[in-house]
Amino acid sequence: MSHSQTVNLNHLKAGFDALGLNLFSAFNAKTLAASVPDLILPANARGLLLIGNSGPLMWELMPERYFAQDHPVDQYSADSVNRLLSATWPVQSWQLLFPNNPDVNLPLQVLGGLAGWHGPSPLGIGINSRHGLWFAYRAVVTIDVEIDQSDLTVNDIALPENESPCLSCRDTPCLSACPADALGVSQSPNMSACVTYRCESLSSCASTCLARLACPIAQEYRYTEDQMAFHYDRSMLSAKQWVAG
């Protein structure tokens, strides 16, 4: 594919939206490299696409067959990206760096911060005034064609949405809802207290997070109970290994 061609970002965004991957940002590779010096991209990368999902839509759209796989969400995300980009660019001119690429270590939260996807929260995960705590990173793709700067807002710098709504929160319901007393307004979460409590036999956070549920921001995007249980049950495996030493 000729380097003179450009990417129709609106077309890509619409395609990902239809698959439940409804968070999309694009970066100029050179600008991104200057902002994140430790980021190592393929030599032919001229742009980078950051793809995620918010709310329960992706979960609702995932075909049942994926749940028989070891990593259903990752596989659905990878398959969706591969299918859409293969249709967009029949001649391969892109590379999937995440997921399913263990040799690549990407600073996802740094990229999300630059894209304006989130600001800090007491829970240690990002929060956005539009999506609250209910979003996740699903794919990172490099492309070797130009990004049309006038097509879609290309997020080379942080957007207003990355300002944390926690800064104006006075009631802090997440703090009082945490049964492990692991959270504070101006401190990192006490992960030891959190994980230890989650692993207790009568823990109310084994398959969910009461602090996360208590956040009033963008509750319309809250994950379904099944979606929450899926992610937290999987993280419980790592939690138990950590507690066991």
Residues 70-129: tens digit of each pLDDT? 999 999 999 999 999 988 876 668 899 999 887 788 999 999 988 888 999 999 999 988
**pLDDT band at 10; cut points 50, 70, 90:** confident
Q: Average pLDDT over the chain, rounded to whole?
A: 88
- Backbone φ and ψ of 73, nearest 5°: -70, -45
Q: What is the pLDDT of residue 144?
A: 87
**pLDDT band at 166; cut points 50, 70, 90:** very high
Q: Lowest-pLDDT range, 2-16, 22-36, 57-71, 77-91?
A: 2-16
Q: Lowest-pLDDT range, 19-23, 186-190, 197-201?
A: 186-190
Pair type for strands 135-143 and 47-54: antiparallel
Q: What is the pLDDT of residue 115?
A: 86
User: Is the pLDDT score of 180 beyond 80?
Assistant: yes
Burial class (CB in 10 A: 0-12, 13-18, 19+), 131: buried
d(CA 131, CA 23): 10
